[in-house]
Amino acid sequence: MSEPNPYKAGDAGAAGGYEWGPGQQAGAPVPPQYPPVPAQLPMGAPGMGAPVLSLGDITVVGDQIITPAGPMPLKGAVWNAMDMSRTEEKMPTVAVVLAVVFFLFCLLGLLFLLMKEKQTTGFIQVTVTSGGRHHATMIPATGPDTIHWVMGQLNYARSLSM
* Tens of pLDDT, residues 51-61: 899 999 999 99
**pLDDT > 90? residue 133:** yes
The verdict on residue 142 lying in a domain is yes
Indicate whether 86 and 21 sit together in one domain. Answer: no
Beta strand extents in 6-162 (DSSP E only): 51-55, 58-61, 64-67, 70-73, 78-90, 117-130, 133-140
- 89 shares a domain with 18: no
Mean pLDDT of 83-105: 85
Burial call 68-77: b when 16+ CB within 10 Å, e when fewer: eeebbebeeb
Q: Are residues 81 and 2 in the same domain?
A: no
How does residue 33 score in pLDDT terms, banded at 50, 70 and 90?
low
Q: Considering only the C-alpha atoms of the chain, give the largest distance between any 2 of them, rounded to a whole number of Å.
A: 100
In a domain, 13, yes or no: yes
Residues 154 and 117 in one domain: yes
Does residue 146 lie within any of the structural domains?
A: yes
User: Is the model's pLDDT at 111 over the cut of 90?
Assistant: no
Same domain assignment for residues 139 and 77: yes
23 or 130, greater pLDDT: 130
pLDDT at 41: 42
Residue 137 covered by a domain: yes
Residue 43 lies in a domain: no
- What is the reported pLDDT for 97? 85
Please enumerate in sequence order all residues whose Cβ is within 8 A of that of 29, keeping only pairs 6 or more positions apart, or say none. Answer: none
Res 3: pLDDT: 55
- Looking at the structure, tell me whether residues 29 and 57 fall in a common domain: no
Beta-carbon contacts of 32 under 8 Å, excluding residues fewer than 6 positions away, are none
pLDDT at position 155 is 94
77 and 142 part of one domain: yes
Q: In total, how many domains does the chain have?
A: 2
Does the residue 6 lie in any domain?
yes
Q: Which pLDDT belongs to residue 19?
A: 59
Q: Is 44 or 91 the better-scoring residue by pLDDT?
A: 91
Does residue 4 belong to any structural domain of this protein? yes
Quick check: 8 pLDDT over 70?
no
Any domain includes 41: no
> In this predicted model, which residue has the larger pLDDT, 133 or 20?
133
Same domain, 133 and 96: yes
Instruction: Please tell me whether residue 126 adopts helix, strand or coil conformation.
Output: strand
The stretch 24-49 carries a mean pLDDT of: 54
| 159 sits in which H/E element | helix 146-161
Residue 93: pLDDT band by 50, 70, 90 thresholds? Answer: confident
Q: Tell me how far CA of residue 1 lies from CA of 4, 27, 28, in angstroms.
A: 9, 14, 17
Q: Say whether both 10 and 87 belong to one domain.
A: no
Residue range(s) defining the domain that contains residue 155: 51-161
Q: What is the pLDDT of residue 30?
A: 54
